[in-house]
Amino acid sequence: MAIYKPDYKNNNEISVALICLNIIALAISLYNSEKERYREVGNRLIVLHNQLRNIYYRVKSSTADNFQDEEAEMNQIMDEYYSINITKQIIMSDWYAHYKFFFQTQHEWIDEQKQFTWRDKIPFSFVFTVIVVVIIVVWVLLS
């Protein structure tokens, strides 16, 4: 845009936006070598999630008073979760994780106990980013 129309009034803003997008793309591309590991761990986490759901429904429908076997099974699942969990995440991946969890998976069984609110369902970093972008757009349009 700067080459095509050098006197365009928002050239600087467009350049800054493109630089920011390039920085994000560069940060994401640094994880390309570990894509397969992320996929494998993600698939295993889904299996663990489903195992926990099965334990939850099994306990919920049971009339027993003692759940030591289920608790041991849950502890085993949690130990595996902590051993395979990847803490170093790609930029903005928490937004995608929230979307996948709250809008694509069946999380009602967790919601029965946790009772999620909209603040749980929408990451604060996303809300903050949207507010900053709106402020910048309004500032650019009013300048």
Reported as a single tens digit per residue, the pLDDT across 97-133 is: 888 888 888 788 888 888 888 888 888 889 998 999 8
Tokens of 39: 């996929």
Q: Which two tokens stand for residue 10?
A: 């928002």
Q: Residue 19 and residue 5: Cα distance in Å, rounded?
A: 18
**Phi, psi torsion values for 104, nearest 5 degrees:** -125, -15
Least Cα distance to 92 among 24, 22, 31 occurs for: 24
What are the tens digits of pLDDT across the range 59-73? Answer: 999 988 889 999 999
Average of per-residue pLDDT values in the chain: 86
The whole-model pTM stands at 0.69
CB atoms within 10 A of CB 111: 13
Euclidean distance between CA atoms 34 and 31, whole angstroms: 5
Say what the pLDDT of residue 101 is: 85
